[in-house]
Structure 1
Amino acid sequence: MKYYIIAGEASGDLHASNLMKAIKEKDPNADFRFWGGDLMQAQGGTMVKHYRDLAFMGFVEVVQNLGTILKNIKLCKKDIATYKPDVLVLVDYPGFNLRIAKFAKSLGIRVVYYISPQLWAWKEGRVETIKKYVDDMLLILPFEKDFYKKHQVDAHFVGHPLLDAISDLPNVDAELFKKENNLNSQPIIALLPGSREQEVKKMLELMLSVRSYFKEYQFVIAGAPSLVKDFYEQYVDENVHFVSNKTYDLLRCSRAALVTSGTATLETALLNTPEVVCYKSSKISYEIAKRLVKHIKYISLVNLIMDREIVTELIQDELNTQNLVKELNRILSGTDREKMLNDFSQLREKLGGKGASQHAADVVVNII
């Protein structure tokens, strides 16, 4: 059968690739056409467009690139109409994907949405679009079930696919990892500054401002697959290093991490690495977001899932050198570190067991 899948960023590429793998186990003749990344490409099929050409961050940036976005939507619609898939699988990325859902439904194509947009945070009205144009909504966060029930949508909680990806990882030897990646013997503080160029530039400057306070540690930047290695060279020196496509191993070998808000905050927690969550956007984008986002207490998935503060969130003006130093010191040793690690264990229990990708694949294949 023919599957058309759209993922617009790095986390979507990861989850969609695992879904593709699970689909192939149930449908050996599966034919994939997709918008995504390298992980999806490794599963086979035809890539129409890489997500690095789709990701625009913040309201201002979206407006500046509106022409490109509209061209991509037009290209996607034409490609779907030509390919005629048996099912369209949309992975998060709502601004783009909800438009495509409406178009696909007009052609009589079955639509599955895997990983819900964060409608509980903002743009709740989009749930009406989902009711009209999506046949099955697959949820990966437990609290989303109640949100959709409130709107009379019978959505399915399939579990979180990160548990699958992380539980299947082979053991990693920290000393061997350091040697293979030309790192020194000092303990590591990992830096996860994001995946978009403008975001990374902003976040790395702030994250690296703490270097002089932690001379007994080495700082290692986790390179995003969407950015070329040369981009990071400007930040590397004798005590700041860079690794590419090894983020999970890096986190497992690190004492702590500074992490830009997003899926990476949950990945870091599930890998049992104490973290400080960082977020800063342009002033205009932030002010617009404050007015549009519904009242939610937290921005990190870790705190949202647990409905209490497990990890410290430094947002906008609070994200500064002084606060970063203070929070890092808290989680490098002592009782605060132990409490955070204990909370991470409870987080894993709340997300359920393995099998999210398999459960999602069951729905996708059966809907056809």
Structure 2
Amino acid sequence: MKYYIIAGEASGDLHGSNLIKALYKKDKNAIIRCWGGDLMGATGATLVKHYKELAFMGFLEVLLNIFTIFRNISFCKKDIIEFNPDVIIFIDYSGFNLRIAKWAKAQNFRTNYYISPQVWASRAGRVRSIQRDINAMYVILPFEKEFYQKYGYHVHFVGHPLVDAVTNRKQVDEQLFRKKYQLSDKPVIALLPGSRKQEITKMLSVMLSVTDIFQDYEFVIAGAPSQPFSFYKNIIGDKKMSFVKDKTHDLLSISSAALVTSGTATLETALFKVPQVVCYKGNALSYQIAKRIITLKFISLVNLIMDKKVVKELIQYDFTRENLIRELSLILDKKHQEKLFLDYFELEKRLGGTGASEKVAELIVKNTS
């Protein structure tokens, strides 16, 4: 069968690559065309667009790039028609994907969605359009199935693919890792400033401002695969900083703590059992708009899944050097970590075990054949 897959972010690229591998196992005749990143491209699928051309975050950023977005939508529709897939698989990236899904369903293409839009966070009315436009939805967060059931929409809970990514990864030799990246013997604090240029620019400078206070630790920046070191260097300036590109999981596996930009990375950090402070700062206008439409108590997936405060969230105006110093000092305290680790283990149990990609691939092949 022919599969057309659309992912628009680094996390979608990771999960998309694992899904593609699973599809090739389930369907030996699979022909796959995709939007994503280097990981999806490395599977043997034909990569049409890289997410570096697509990743715009926040209301203002989207507005400033609206013509590029419209061009991408137009190109995507044309490419789908020419490829004529048996099924289109959308991975997260809701602003773009829901537009394509509406069009695709009207063109009688079969539509599947893997990793639900966060309709439970804001604009829940979108559930109606999802019901109309998506033939099958595969969710990865335990509370999402119950959320959709309230609207009479049956979805498949398949577990979270990050559990696979963490469980099945090749174990890193810490000594060799430190040697390769010229790290000292000090305990490591990982800095995860995100993957998009806009968020990295806003997050990293504040994260770097605390490094001089914790001189018994080595701070290491987790570089996104889509961004060159030169981009980070402009933010780092003359500060002497360690930098590891596209090896976030390896870095987390040797870290004692982490400062993490809100998003999938908070869950990754928790699965590696690393104490963390969750950080977020957006464009001021985008933040004010978001604050008025998002109805959640928390922004981090860790706290949302556990339905309580497990990790500290420093959002927008609370994301300051002073607050970061205080919270980082707290999570480095061994007494604080005992309770945190218990919550992390419970979180992992709630995520549904391994095999998410295989479950999704099996359901897609079964429902499309």
Please report the TM-score for the alignment, with normalisation by the length of structure 1. 0.98
Maintained 8 Å contact 2:172/2:250: yes
Q: Deviations over 1:275-322 (max 9, x none)?
A: 00000111111111011112x110000000000111000011111111
Structure 1 residue ranges without an equivalent (≥5)? none
* Separation of aligned partners in 2, 1:171 and 1:332: 24
* Separation of aligned partners in 2, 1:124 and 1:302: 21
* Separation of aligned partners in 2, 1:237 and 1:177: 24
Q: Deviations over 1:241-293 (max 9, x none)?
A: 11111100001111100000000000110111110000011111111101111
In structure 2, what is the equivalent of residue 262 of structure 1? 263
SS at structure 2 position matched to 1:344 = helix
Maintained 8 Å contact 1:122/1:293: yes
Maintained 8 Å contact 1:221/1:242: yes
Tell me whether 1:100 sits opposite 2:105 in the alignment. no
In structure 1, what is the equivalent of residue 195 of structure 2? 195
In structure 1, what is the equivalent of residue 59 of structure 2? 59
For residue 216 of structure 1, what is the amino acid of its counterpart?
D
SS at structure 2 position matched to 1:143 = helix
SS at structure 2 position matched to 1:4 = strand
In structure 2, what is the equivalent of residue 123 of structure 1? 123
In structure 1, what is the equivalent of residue 346 of structure 2? 346
Structure 1 window deviating more from structure 2 (101-110 vs 147-156): it is: 101-110
Tell me whether 1:49 sits opposite 2:49 in the alignment. yes
Maintained 8 Å contact 2:158/2:352: no
* Separation of aligned partners in 2, 1:209 and 1:325: 9
SS at structure 2 position matched to 1:340 = helix
* Separation of aligned partners in 1, 2:164 and 2:186: 31
Deviation of residue 170 (structure 1)? 2.1
* Separation of aligned partners in 1, 2:52 and 2:239: 30
Percent identical across equivalent pairs?
57
* Separation of aligned partners in 1, 2:28 and 2:165: 21
Tell me whether 1:308 sits opposite 2:290 in the alignment. no
In structure 2, what is the equivalent of residue 272 of structure 1? 273
In structure 2, what is the equivalent of residue 184 of structure 1? 184
Deviation of residue 238 (structure 1)? 6.6
For residue 300 of structure 1, what is the amino acid of its counterpart?
S
For residue 163 of structure 1, what is the amino acid of its counterpart?
V
Maintained 8 Å contact 1:232/1:242: no
* Separation of aligned partners in 1, 2:367 and 2:322: 53
Output aligned runs, 1:127-206, within 5 Å.
Answer: 127-206=127-206
Deviation of residue 333 (structure 1)? 2.6
* Separation of aligned partners in 2, 1:98 and 1:156: 18
* Separation of aligned partners in 2, 1:333 and 1:171: 26
* Separation of aligned partners in 1, 2:54 and 2:213: 38
Indicate the RMSD between aligned Cα atoms, in angstroms: 1.1
SS at structure 2 position matched to 1:105 = helix
For residue 290 of structure 1, what is the amino acid of its counterpart?
K
SS at structure 2 position matched to 1:137 = strand
Q: Deviations over 1:9-50 (max 9, x none)?
A: 000001111011111111111111011000100111211110
Maintained 8 Å contact 1:5/1:35: yes
In structure 2, what is the equivalent of residue 286 of structure 1? 287
Maintained 8 Å contact 1:218/1:239: no
Q: Deviations over 1:216-251 (max 9, x none)?
A: 111110001111122122317674111111100001
Output aligned runs, 1:31-42, within 5 Å.
Answer: 31-42=31-42
* Separation of aligned partners in 2, 1:239 and 1:232: 12
* Separation of aligned partners in 2, 1:11 and 1:236: 28
* Separation of aligned partners in 2, 1:297 and 1:245: 31
Deviation of residue 174 (structure 1)? 2.0
Task: Decide whether aligned partners of structure 1 residues 21 and 236 sit closer, same or farther in structure 2, where only a CA change above 3 A counts.
Answer: farther
User: Which runs of structure 1 show a deviation greater than 4 angstroms over 4 or more consecutive aligned residues?
Assistant: 236-239
Tell me whether 1:84 sits opposite 2:84 in the alignment. yes
Maintained 8 Å contact 2:222/2:243: yes
* Separation of aligned partners in 1, 2:116 and 2:302: 16
